[in-house]
Structure formats: structure tokens, C-alpha cells
Amino acid sequence: MTGTNLLDLDPAGLQAYFAAMGEKPFRATQVLRWIHQRGASDFEAMTDVAKSLRSKLALSARVEPPQVVGDSVSEDRTRKWLIKVDGANAVESVFIPETRRGTLCVSSQAGCVLDCAFCSTGKQGFNRNLTTAEIIGQLWIARRELGSGSQPGERIVTNVVMMGMGEPLLNLDNVIPALRLMLDDNAYGLSRRRVTVSTSGVVPGMDRLAEECPVALAVSLHASNDALRDQLVPVNRKYPIKELIAACNRYLDRAPRDFITFEYVMLEGVNDADANAHELVALSRRIKCKFNLIPFNPFPNSGFARSSAERIRRFAEILQRADLTVTTRKTRGEAIDAACGQLAGDVADRTRRTRIDIDVPVKEVRA
């Protein structure tokens, strides 16, 4: 298909596209609703759009989501889609149904440059950023595949987390337009509190996100001191914990929530000692935060083991005694390799990883 892919355009971009065609702004709103609320990819289906405009769009534009090439469902109803983004790359997105909400975990890159020690995605190397169409296309596909709720206006996908493959803050030129579509009332209409971006600690990206599109923020902390975090999360060598905490405090000035969520994967004998918990208590005095403890989800040749349930309970207890809010994430989708840290997709070229201790690109990583 040829022409502009309208999935690449956020609401302002779509307005500008229609203005350049000499069309009034309400036409952009009509098409926005058809694409994102009704899941239309055929302009002829847009029956309240003037026939002459539909004909023009058919010649100059397209609505082309990425292609689903795999669809797996686990016993706990977690669903994972393998989504082809080009001839060499596929990414994964995961839907996690719960009693009162449905969360879609979205990828932002094919592979990841950051190479966190315990994450399967990083072991695949980095190939390229996803486009806005490939990011928002994951939500578009989920809405199509899952259908609508049983009640009028009911949402199946109530929350989106940018916690899939890749580091979102190294692809903000494409992530921010996708976020704006998630939030727009004429598209997906999600609240800022229900859209979460997760970062390993790319400080300039945190500042840019706060300025341009603040949503809920989760930080992949995973260590209680710099020496350990340097090993587990290599971006810490460029942006150590002191700088990270300062950036978190700046983010809170604009954030929709009054706290930062710290993600902490529990690795047996590595970061799960009582001493680590006490260091986190000390760190928490510098930032309003909550902790989400994540039992490690194994993958081949990882070199790590999951902390025992008792060890995780004891670790959480130390944090709770310091009046901190602590949750322990329930492992979902492990049987289909859809659990946290297991997403690998299919990255054909594994040769392009940048050594994070040498340089971390700020605005974009481009292949």
C-alpha cells in the first residue's frame, strides 16, 4: 500500500494533514474516530465522511497496522501477539486480563539497546525503533482482536503500559505521538493515570516526557546501590541513582500521580538481601514512591534464579515496616513466555547494540 499511513499521525498531525488537503478540522476528527474507536481501515466504511474526501484519501493515504503473525493464549487468559513490523523484525505485545481491568503491554523497539542483565529482550540485541503506527497499531490490533465489552461504553483494554520490548524513552519521537492518541477522547480516551511508561532510567528522556506528555511513570530500579545497578542495569553507569532520583522528583512536578513506581526484579542471592531492602528504605526518603517487586521470570541461559516466596515476603516486610507501599507482581503468561522480562520477539540482526557505558543516545536511537 502507498500513501501516508494515518496511524502514524497523532491528533494534531492528522489535523495538519487534512488542513493541507484544504479540509475543515472536523473531517480530521471524523476520520480519527473511525480509525481508532471503530477500528476502520477502509475509507469506504467511513460512511459519514463525504464521498469525494473518501476518494481523495484512497489515493493519498492508508490505514495500515502491523501484521499479526502469532497469537498465543495461556491458561490464565494472558494473550500474546507476535507482530511483524518488517521483513526482518517482529515484536510482542501482551494483554493481561484481571477482574476490574485489562492491561495491554506495548513494545516500543525491535530489541533493546540497554542490555539489562536479567531481560530476554536485551539479549536479542537492538535493530530499530518502532514507528508511531507500529506502536499505536498494537493497541489498534488488541481492540480488534478482543472486541468490545458486554456493556455499552465498556472497555476491554483499560490500561496501557509501555513495558514491552525496548526502552520507550529512547524512541520518544514516535512514542509521544502514540501516547497522545491513547489519551485523546476522539481516539482511545485513556486517562493519564492509566497509561504508564517504564524506563530503565534515561534521564533526558524523563525530562522530555514530563514536558511534552506526562503520564504515569515506572522506573526499572532493580538494585539498591550504584555498584549493583551498574551490573544489572548498565544505563546506571551514565545516569547513576543520585541523578535518577533528581529526575524522578522533577517528573513529579508534572505527573498525573503523586508517586513514582519503582520496579524491582527479585534475583536470588543478587539483590534480595535484607541489606538491599534497608538501602531501598533509605533511598525512599528522597522521593515519593511505591515499590513493585517482580519475581524473576527465567529464560534460557539467563544465569539468574528467582528469589523464594519467603525471601520476597521478608523483603517486602522490611519495606512495609518503613510505611512504604509495596506490591508483589503476580506472574502471568509464563507458559507462553509472556511474563515480565521474557519478551524476545524475533530480531534478526543482533549486531547493532551500542555499549551503554560509552554512550546513551538522548532523543532517538536509529538503525
pLDDT at 159: 97
pLDDT bin (cut points 50, 70, 90) of residue 356 is: very low
Report, as an integer, the average pLDDT of 48-64.
96
Residue 175, amino acid: V
65 pLDDT above the threshold of 70: yes
Place of cell 501482551: 94
Q: How far apart are CA 286 and CA 105, in angstroms?
A: 29
116 pLDDT above the threshold of 70: yes
Of 23, 92, 167, 263, which residue is the catalytic one? Answer: 92
365 pLDDT above the threshold of 80: no
Within 13 A of 216's CA, how many CA atoms are on the CB side? 21
The SS3 assignment for 358 reads coil
Of 112, 119, 289, 340, which residue is the catalytic one? Answer: 340
* pLDDT tens column, 295-321: 998 888 788 999 999 999 999 999 999
Within 13 A of 329's CA, how many CA atoms are on the CB side? 23
How far does Cα 46 stand from its chain's mean position?
Answer: 30
According to DSSP H, which parts of 163-202 are helical? 172-183
127: left (phi over 0), alpha (psi -120 to 50) or beta: alpha
Q: How far apart are CA 198 and CA 329, in angstroms?
A: 15
Other residues' Cβ atoms within 10 Å of the Cβ of residue 285? 8
> Phi/psi of residue 265, each to 5°?
-75, 135
Which is more confident, 351 or 36? 36
C-alpha Rg value of the chain to the nearest Å: 21
pLDDT bin (cut points 50, 70, 90) of residue 353 is: very low
CB 79 within 8 A of CB 332: no
Q: Is 98 a catalytic residue?
A: no
Exposed, middle or buried by CB within 10 Å (0-12, 13-18, 19+), for 155? middle
Predicted TM-score (pTM) above 0.85: yes
Domains in the chain, start-ordered, CATH in brackets? 4-62 (1.10.150.530), 67-347 (3.20.20.70)
Q: Is 116 a catalytic residue?
A: no
357 pLDDT above the threshold of 90: no
pLDDT at 302: 82
What's the mean pLDDT when you consider all of the chain? 89
